[in-house]
Structure 1
């Protein structure tokens, strides 16, 4: 595991999980870069309706994560993973058959939910396999995920550049093929028995939804996860509408973010080995997000190159905060979940990220663009508050594991 940041793991479950993550991530990159343009420009669905479908897809990801997480505890988790990949692959191919809004509302939520469930299940299976230094391997798969998404976006570049229906459809087929390949690779993983059978007698099937400290941590992670939409929504709109920075700086910040995550995620996770360390990492990320937001706000009013340098500094600090949030969130969510219900708990924890995906774009567009500089400050202090509260909630959750994670439901 010491060289995970530069090479594939040795043959075995970790290598298979790495390849599954990479293949599904390539498909995610193709999806992210083509879905809006394909359905608006090629299928001719209105942008408003496309947005409605994506919001429904976000809701499907929330529900799907909770249900699939629980299913992976009660049944063969590898079978659940394989079926999620097959659903995502078939739904992605279904894009080619869309000829109206009704069909669009069927396939896009299914594809989005399938891919979201794959990411959740991969994380849960890492814990269930019981790999050594699981925290470091989770960080490594996060790096692989970013590389795969970048590759998928690159593979879609020609379709986006030439706005060609044929190239869009070819990219969609390639995305479905990568998902099918990942489904085949699942068969190379060692068998896993359901762990829900080992649950203490009398526990509720939905105990994770009654675990108030864990739900509070989920909510805080959802607030902190707004930083992803800062990167993808607020920064591009701010650069175009409020600064003199050239438009190519948007792509520069995206590539900087990917590079930092790929190169440093494993290193950032090595010291996050227990619950208190996870809380501390979440506190640090709150400070990083505040500083980044202040820097982004200060880019307004400066000349082009000065603005670019300020934006790059803010992007670097935002990315470092992402490293800490990912490391802290991964460890806290896994270590605070009972092993026999890891899928269900991680499914609940994923709600925070999915809610940020759903609410974040509109909220941050309003705060950081319509409100402006003050909105950036508000965003930064909200993220800081979530970071400062995280160690307190993590400690509360750790002190109540006997009550919530181990005791039978009343």
Structure 2
């Protein structure tokens, strides 16, 4: 059964057939997140249903998604939690929280989706929370080895490519007349099978008749390529990194992560009329970790920055990434900045400086393979692709290191 509702803080989830098999546990979750010089505290104390298997995996009953969002127009922190047991059950429960700068809970909404999903990143607009349905299934053999402590928890899961399309859930952020007759339980089907990696932004534009278009900028890959146990080429058994997994033959490179724009056209009642997927600025090289100036989150933006590959290496041509790309959605122009030989980069972070969208800096970690050192690189966002883009390159102490796929956010202190 699928249902969604506004819930008061402290309210538990409604029971269903899967809850009968679960025990109850009282959970306290305190998390602190800082951004824009303000520290947001998350405190949740409801009663949650927890499968007995979680005792084996030693997982908390509620888990926050890795990515949170800042709605600068409303000055709100947006976060999402999911139920840990849903990783093993054919249902997905998501709770969205919105806080003001004083940690006051302004809104909490729960959505229960009757599908087995793995959500890492998500998006929001003025009217919607947006979830791409990365569909998964239980791996029986992997579950047994995980329970026995012979493999990590992720071994219990595998991708589920049974649908040729990508379901996208447009969840109502607020209750109004437009959402009363609209069934959010019916997802929009993107016309290609996409596994969502990361989202840089989503925004919505309306015409005079109430029709609207939602545009989502993201990195996606193929279900055929994605592998929970080999991401970034990391081997948990040996503890070593073999990035050859992230590189495919030229004929198969379309399976790798790339930047796309998903456009969804809705009528005045919120019904989908059309959904399309196309490369951003026709950029076709493998790319991931797209970011924007966070002050423009949820609104129409012009610039997107991402880690990508120059393709100049004969060995490992697609990954690790060695280039930063700046995409201009207005002019369709593309600018890049690259590191030297046998060096590569991680996820870029935008640091706002002024009011203009590209007035700021890009922080990115540079890895030097030959000497096994890390550097913190600071780039002038406006001068990407021009002389003088490099502002500073700071050596990180040798005993420190940044892992691949490291996520970060910039915070100021005023």
TM-score with structure 2 setting the length: 0.27
Higher relative contact order (CA 8 A, sep 6+): 1
TM-score with structure 1 setting the length: 0.27
Q: Which has the higher strand share?
A: 2
